[in-house]
């Protein structure tokens, strides 16, 4: 039987129908959720589907498109770079976009950061940070094999990243294969003293290599937030015991907390920082793991085996580096900084309206990240959550509730009117649920 012409198929079948034939999507049980919405275009804070229906991207497509989709400034820079150098192996070679990015990024990172290691995504950024911490001690003849991590932290889907993540919904089948990790309670005003006392006793064993943490905001844990001063006390104690600290800024980095990096709020700076998502403005996948000179020096040796033998085919891709440079330039403009402050103020105004709503149990905000919890019990990916998601999409708003938590982390360029529509749609849900 003759196969249908490709052009005929495109006319007669939707993206959703064609998608089902071969594609396997992330975080999806396809038997329960077989339908995928076809998106054909995006601009600014708006996504467009096959029927030209608009959706306000209230989470910047998993916190990536911070300066809006298809930002002309960024796409033009990348288009020009495509004519010059698209890809080259980053082992044994270097190029202008990577060198320039290193120079510009080091200027804005905490002042103890000196070296950058490229990879592909947030999971690999944290994976490399974990490997740096473990090998740092190994190279110096110390048997430190345990990692510390916060309860309910999330650091990615590769094995090291899963090991230090505390959300079993993602990790269940793989837990017996994990590296040695111990959990630390997230600090609060009520538990900080007892937490520090327990840590002080535990650290006497001298077997802990590193501590990985999401500074100020635990994203996948439903935007749970903690205070900088309490986190700082933990970091001070760990530093005293020679433990490397790894700030996972994959979600929080590049302006979302109101500063360029969440670590800027904390006096004690991390030894290692993991970056991705908004790093390349949502245009091209890339990640960076930065570290201090002290960490790098533990790998600098005449002994070949003491090097960090980790590499990705697209490490330091020139196009991704160019996108990151353009995004970093935009981030530091007065226009974008003003927009960040505008969004922060609008969130605060919205919060004053809904925080005492009878269906709201708690609200919180850190920079442009805003979250509210419903006083309704539900499963993280259950039916009620799905109904909430449908409510938002039916009203042209793309939000992804995390169980009973509704959160906003929109592009900085979102308009007042677009934000107001998000707020109104949330309020409508509160009055219906």
CATH of the domain at 213: 3.40.640.10
At which of 308, 331, 354 does a domain end? 331
223-233: average pLDDT: 98
The domain of 392 spans 53-70+333-432
Q: Using an 8 Å Cβ cutoff, are 354 and 426 in contact?
A: yes
Model pLDDT for residues 246-257, shown as the tens digit of each residue: 999 999 999 999
**CATH label of the domain that carries residue 349:** 3.90.1150.10
- Do 227 and 190 touch, CB atoms closer than 8 A? no
Inform me whether the pLDDT recorded for 381 exceeds 90: no
Please, are residues 222 and 254 in contact by the beta-carbon 8 Å criterion? no
Per-residue pLDDT of 89-127, as tens digits, reads: 999 999 999 999 999 999 999 999 999 999 999 999 999
**Tokens, residue 86:** 């698209």
Q: Are residues 379 and 319 in the same domain?
A: no
pLDDT on residue 157: 93
For residues 274 and 291, what is the distance between their CA atoms, to the nearest angstrom?
Answer: 9
Closest CA to 152 of 169, 163, 171, 165: 165
d(CA 403, CA 401): 6
**Which helix (H) or strand (E) segment is 246 a member of?**
strand 244-248
Asked if 355 and 288 sit in the same domain, the reply is: no
Percent pLDDT > 70 in the chain is: 97
Distance CA 314, CA 89 (A): 7
* Rounded-to-integer distance, Cα 286 and Cα 190, Å: 39
Q: What single-letter DSSP state applies at residue 203?
A: G
Mean pLDDT value across residues 340-353? 98
| 144 and 156 share one domain | yes
The chain-wide mean pLDDT, for the chain, equals 95
The tens digit of pLDDT for each residue in 3-17 reads: 545 444 455 799 999
Banded model confidence at residue 176, pLDDT cuts 50, 70, 90: confident
pTM of the model: 0.95
- Tell me: do 59 and 83 sit in the same domain: no
Q: Is the pLDDT of residue 379 over 80?
A: no
Residue-level pLDDT at 378: 77
> Which pLDDT value is given to residue 3?
53
Task: Let me know whether 318 and 179 are in one domain.
Answer: yes
Q: Are 311 and 371 within one domain? A: no
Q: What are 47-95's pLDDT values in tens digits?
A: 999 999 999 999 999 999 999 999 999 999 999 999 999 999 999 999 9
Say what the pLDDT of residue 1 is. Answer: 46
The continuous run of DSSP H or E covering 272 comes out as strand 272-275
User: 292 near 271, Cβ under 8 Å?
Assistant: yes
- Write 38-45 long-range contacts (CB < 8 A, 24+): 38/14, 40/15, 42/69, 42/70, 43/68, 43/69, 43/70, 44/68, 44/69, 44/70, 44/411, 44/413, 44/414, 45/69, 45/410, 45/411, 45/413, 45/414, 45/415, 45/418
Q: How many of the other CB atoms lie within 10 Å of CB of 151?
A: 13
Q: pLDDT tens digits, residue range 126-168?
A: 999 999 999 999 999 999 999 999 999 999 999 999 999 987 6
Mark out the alpha helices in 13-70 (DSSP H runs).
15-22, 60-63
91 CB-side CA count, 13 A: 9
């Amino acid at each position: 039987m003759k196969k249908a012409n490709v052009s005929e198929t495109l006319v007669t079948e939707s993206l959703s129908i064609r998608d089902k034939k071969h594609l396997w999507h992330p975080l999806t049980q396809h038997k329960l959720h077989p339908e995928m919405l076809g998106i054909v275009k995006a601009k600014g804070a708006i996504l467009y589907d096959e029927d030209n229906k608009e959706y306000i991207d209230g989470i910047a497509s998993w916190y990536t498109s911070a300066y809006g989709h298809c930002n002309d400034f960024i796409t033009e820079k990348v288009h020009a770079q495509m004519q010059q150098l698209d890809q080259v192996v980053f082992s044994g070679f270097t190029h202008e976009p990577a060198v320039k990015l290193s120079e510009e990024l080091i200027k804005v990172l905490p002042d103890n950061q000196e070296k950058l290691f490229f990879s592909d995504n947030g999971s690999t950024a944290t994976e490399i940070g974990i490997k740096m911490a473990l090998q740092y001690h190994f190279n110096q003849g110390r048997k430190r094999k345990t990692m510390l991590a916060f309860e309910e932290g999330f650091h990615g889907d590769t094995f090291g990243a899963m090991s230090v993540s505390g959300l079993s919904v993602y990790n269940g089948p793989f837990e017996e294969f994990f590296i040695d990790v111990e959990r630390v309670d997230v600090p609060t005003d009520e538990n900080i003293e007892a937490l520090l006392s327990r840590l002080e006793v535990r650290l006497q064993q001298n077997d802990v290599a590193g501590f990985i943490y999401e500074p100020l905001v635990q994203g996948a844990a439903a935007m749970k937030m903690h205070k900088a001063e309490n986190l700082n006390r933990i970091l001070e104690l760990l530093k005293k015991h020679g433990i490397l600290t790894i700030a996972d800024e994959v979600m929080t980095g590049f302006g979302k907390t109101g500063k360029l990096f969440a670590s800027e709020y904390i006096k004690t700076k991390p030894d290692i920082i993991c970056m991705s998502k908004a790093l390349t403005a949502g245009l091209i996948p890339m990640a960076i793991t930065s570290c201090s000179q002290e960490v790098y020096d533990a790998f600098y040796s005449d002994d070949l085996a003491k090097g960090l033998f980790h590499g990705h085919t697209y490490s330091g891709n020139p196009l991704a580096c160019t996108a990151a440079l353009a995004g970093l330039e935009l981030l530091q403009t007065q226009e974008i900084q003003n927009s960040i402050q505008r969004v922060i103020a609008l969130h605060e105004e919205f919060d004053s309206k809904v925080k005492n709503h009878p269906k709201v149990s708690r609200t919180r905000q850190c920079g442009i990240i805003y979250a509210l919890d419903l006083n309704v019990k539900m499963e993280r990916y259950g039916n009620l959550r799905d109904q909430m998601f449908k409510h938002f999409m039916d009203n042209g708003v793309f939000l992804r509730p995390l169980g009973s938590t509704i959160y906003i982390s929109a592009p900085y360029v979102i308009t007042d009117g677009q934000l107001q529509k998000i707020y109104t749609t949330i309020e409508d849900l509160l009055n219906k649920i």
